[in-house]
């Protein structure tokens, strides 16, 4: 399903096309509304067909960054979250 921005864009284009055809070209209102609705539906169909596949994007991200993908989400990358003093690291030799 297309996102909210795509739906709003399709609605805006449909309304603009309908208003243009009715006000400027002089088409009957029912025809202008029908053509505007068809334009909006076509935009939504194209957006749904070309939309991002979340599972494929997640798999590609995990393959490109395995060191980040396997990390515990509660820890910072340097391992210093909640350790104490700022700038202190657990990785430094004692």
Each residue of 80-92: pLDDT tens digit?
555 555 555 555 5
* Domain encompassing residue 36: 4-69
Mean pLDDT over 57-82 rounds to 67
Whole-prediction pTM: 0.56
83 domain residue, yes or no: no
- As a whole number of Å, the CA-based R_g of the chain is 26
Instruction: Answer whether residue 18 is part of any domain.
Output: yes
Q: Is residue 81 part of a domain?
A: no
Examine the pLDDT at 9 and tell me if it is beyond 60.
yes
Q: Residue 63 falls within a domain, yes or no?
A: yes
Whether residue 38 is contained in a domain is answered as yes
Domain count, the chain: 1
Q: Which tens digit of pLDDT belongs to each residue from 15-24?
A: 999 999 999 9
For residues 81 and 89, give the distance between their C-alpha atoms in angstroms, rounded to a whole number: 10
Residue 87 covered by a domain: no
Contact between 90 and 80 under an 8 Å Cβ cutoff? The reply is: yes
């Amino acid at each position: 399903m297309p996102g909210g921005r795509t739906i709003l864009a399709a609605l805006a284009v449909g309304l603009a096309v309908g208003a243009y055809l009715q006000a400027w070209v002089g088409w009957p209102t029912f025809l202008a509304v029908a053509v505007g609705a068809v334009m909006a539906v076509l935009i939504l169909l194209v957006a749904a067909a070309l939309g991002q596949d979340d599972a494929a994007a997640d798999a590609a991200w995990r393959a490109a960054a395995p060191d980040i993908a396997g990390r515990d989400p509660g820890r910072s990358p340097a391992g210093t979250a909640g350790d104490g003093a700022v700038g202190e690291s657990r990785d430094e030799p004692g």
